[in-house]
Amino acid sequence: MKKVTITDVARRAGVSIGTVSAVINRKNTVKTETRGAVFEAIKELNYRPQGSARTLKNKSTDRGSIGLLVRELDNPFYMAVASGVRQYASDKGYLVVIASSEGDHAYEEEVTRNFTHTDRKGAIIAPVLEGTAEIEHLFRLKMINFPFVLLENVKGIHANVVSIDNIKAMKKAMAFLIDSGHSKIVHFAGPTHASHTYERIDGFRRAYSESHFAYSNDMIIPTGAHLESGYEKCIEYFQKRHKEDYPTAIVCYNDQVALGVMAALNEMNIRVPDDISIVGNDDIPLSRYFPTPLTTIHAPLVELGRRAAEMLIDNIESPKPLPVQKVVLDAEFIPRESTRALRPAQDTLILR
């Protein structure tokens, strides 16, 4: 099949090549009506703008490169995802270029703009969603027909997504704790710029609402995503409370936070799991080798990366637009030594 060129787009839209280039590069010299005609031609022809960079090809990787934009470069969650992306992309002849926004929305916009102006064929993105952050840059990717896959849902944009069922996973963890006799449970929640944070809070809240125990907002402790924040927030939380007010279990946003919490509790001579049970999330390698192996939720992160890469490359290589896909992967609850049963449970949590 003949490759669609910028000349084809210009001809379809009834404008010059320079006008098409101006629209793609977001120059404000083009009238709104003309801009709309160009975008419509791009969509109809499934045209993919070419970056300005020149590609050196070789026998093993001659299809170009894809971008992977994560939120935290030092987070084992994204390291595992990147491994899955690289495995699949490499098998298909693509290189993977990794960038990190570090939770900075403006930098995320800059990176996505760079992806479209270089030789990247597409991108996998873990978006920053803090506060009122705009998603105009994601809409622009769709408008210029730049292939991308999101690693979590973004409200208001119809895009390809591969994600974990965080609500269901959190309810599994809560069911285990409640069935083990725990009723005083708190959640050390994640960063405000991640939809995973709100999904896990929602799962925590739903688990309480489906039991006979009362939920209250003070059970949610804003924490973050790193070991240091788990350690610091744990010290702060317990210094403000008398022993009789301690929770019997803490469910953490991720394993890094959980390991920070366990280190802080050890420093305060609060025993895990004798005094307090701890549950993490993601099942990073370190979690099973900690002095007290961590009960956690195993997310198939390498598979998540592979599926995202497969979806992206399918879209890159398809000669026509493909239907938008949303793939949700299940997580598995992994009990280890950081949790213990209390009295026989008086209430059974029914998962819906």
Q: pLDDT digits over 158-178, tens only? A: 999 999 999 999 999 999 999
Residue-level pLDDT at 62? 57
What percent of the chain is predicted at pLDDT more than 90?
Answer: 60
Q: Count the Cβ atoms, other than its own, within 10 Å of residue 6.
A: 16
Confidence of residue 343 (pLDDT cuts 50, 70, 90): low
Determine contact, residues 219/185, Cβ cutoff 8 Å: yes
At residue 52, the pLDDT reads 46
214 in the Ramachandran plot: left (φ > 0), alpha (ψ -120 to 50) or beta?
Answer: beta
List, by residue range, all CATH 3.40.50.2300 domains of the chain. Answer: 65-163+301-330, 166-299
At residue 60 the predicted structure's pLDDT band, cuts being 50, 70 and 90, is very low
Stretch 206-235: mean pLDDT: 93
List, in order, residues 6 or more apart from 282 with CB less than 8 Å away. Answer: 76, 77, 254, 255, 296, 297, 298, 299, 301
Question: CA-to-CA distance for 301 and 83, rounded, in angstroms?
Answer: 9
CA distance 40 to 43: 5
- How large is the average pLDDT for residues 213-218? 90
Q: Name 344's bridge partners.
A: none
| CA–CA separation, 130 and 6 (whole Å) | 36
Within 10 A of 212 (CB to CB), how many other CB atoms are there? 11
**3-state SS track over the chain:** CCCCCHHHHHHHHCCCHHHHHHHHCCCCCCCHHHHHHHHHHHHHHCCCCCCCCCCCCCCCCCCCEEEEEECCCCCHHHHHHHHHHHHHHHHCCCEEEEEECCCCHHHHHHHHHHHHHCCEEEEEECCCCCCCCCCHHHHHHHHCCCCEEECCCCCCCCCEEEEECHHHHHHHHHHHHHHCCCCCEEEEECCCCCHHHHHHHHHHHHHHHCCCCCCCHHHEEECCCCHHHHHHHHHHHHHCCCHHHCCCEEEECCHHHHHHHHHHHHHCCCCCCCCCEEECCECCHHHHCCCCCCEEEECCHHHHHHHHHHHHHHHHHCCCCCCCCEEEECCEEECCCCCCCCCCCCCCCCCC
Is 22's pLDDT higher than 80? no
- At 132 the pLDDT is 52
CATH class of 166-299: alpha beta
pLDDT of amino acid 131: 55
> How far is it, in rounded angstroms, from Cα 328 to Cα 326?
7
Reply yes or no on whether the pLDDT at 58 is more than 60. no
Mean pLDDT value across the chain: 87
In the predicted model, is pLDDT for residue 134 greater than 80? no
pLDDT-derived band at 333, boundaries 50, 70, 90? very high
Confidence check: pLDDT of 351 > 60: no
Q: How far apart are CA 272 and CA 347, in angstroms?
A: 24
* Predicted local distance difference test score (pLDDT) of residue 2: 61
Average pLDDT (28-51) is 77
**What is the arithmetic mean of pLDDT over 33-47?**
79
CATH 3.40.50.2300 fits 65-163+301-330, yes or no: yes
pLDDT over threshold 60, residue 321: yes
CA 28 vs. chain centroid, Å, equals 33
Tell which wins on pLDDT, 76 or 20: 76
Q: Residues with Cβ < 8 Å from 201, sequence gap 6 or more?
A: 187, 189, 220
For the entire predicted model, the pTM comes to 0.80
